[in-house]
Homo-oligomer: A and B are copies of this chain.
Amino acid sequence: MNYQELFEQIKKKKSFLCVGLDSDINKIPTHLLNTEDPVFEFNKAIVDATAKYTVAYKPNIAFYESRGAEGWISLEKTVKYIKENHPEVFLIADAKRGDIGNTSKMYAKAFLENMEFDSITVAPYMGEDSVTPFLEYKNKWVILLALTSNKGAYDLQFIESDGKKMFESVIEKSQEWANQENMMYVVGATKAEMLSDIRKIIPNHFLLVPGVGAQGGSLQEVAKYGMNNNCGLLVNSSRGIIFADTSEKFAKVAEQKANELQLEMAELLTEII
């Protein structure tokens, strides 16, 4: 999916919502545990219920990998199901990978080729040749960690050199490797005021913003400091939607929660569309 197609979907759905499929088997509704692949059944129901309000889905790979080969199969089936039934949505592998060149190439193959994700989150620490193998796929994206939403973000990401914080160096350096058509950045909603500094470096890029809801970030603040003329935002919510209810009505409640966020987003989007 390219930049323009993503923006078209945002305009059509009046939403920049990304739903995080952090589908922990210990947290999904217990009545699903009798099915053959509970996590897949859960994801399918969540996706079908929320797709009209959602422009992107983001499975965090850890929740699948922790279940070994079985978890990997749930993930593959989920991606295939979304591709077939909701082909308009943008798919993010939240994998935070990054290794030396020939190894990153293998990760790129796993996520962007074999599973056909549209994008993958990548950790920047190992630099250019750890990132570029993911950029070799047309209309696919790297989403580079810049400023994360967790407490540990303050350990390294704010270290200053020549008046530049580490996360700003990450963003600046990576301008040499990629552009707004194949790179986005992770910027946590818990540090929304930083978005205006980031917009000075990259006015046009899309930003993937986790941390709204359970982690405490505010959607209004994110839009205020981060939205650009092409929206330029994908705001993620995971637990607040997918685990809002764990009874047999879980999908219905997830739909309501997604709809609530989408309505807020529609309001914020009136500024630009």
Contacts and interface: CB of A to CB of B under 8 A. Distances in A.
Interface of A: 22, 24, 60, 62-63, 65-66, 68-70, 72-73, 76, 96-101, 103-104, 106-107, 109-110, 114-115, 123-131, 145, 148-157, 159-161, 166, 169-170, 173
B150 A126 contact: yes
Contacts of A24: 106
Contacts of A130: 150, 152
Contact of A126 (B97, B129, B152): B152
Contacts of A173: 155-156
A106 B156 contact: no
Contacts of A99: 60, 62, 96
A152 B129 contact: yes
A80 to B, nearest CB: 12
Contacts of A156: 124-125, 127, 166, 169-170, 173
A157 B154 CA distance: 17
Contacts of A126: 96, 123, 145, 148, 150, 152-153
21 contacts: A60-B99, A63-B103, A63-B106, A66-B114, A68-B114, A69-B69, A69-B76, A96-B123, A100-B148, A124-B155, A125-B157, A126-B148, A127-B151, A127-B155, A127-B156, A127-B157, A128-B155, A129-B150, A130-B150, A156-B166, A166-B166
Nearest to A105: B62
Contact of A106 (B65, B115, B129, B161): B65
A110 B62 contact: yes
A110 B60 contact: no
A137 to B, nearest CB: 14
Contacts of A22: 103
A62 B111 CA distance: 11
B166 A60 contact: no
A127 B152 contact: yes
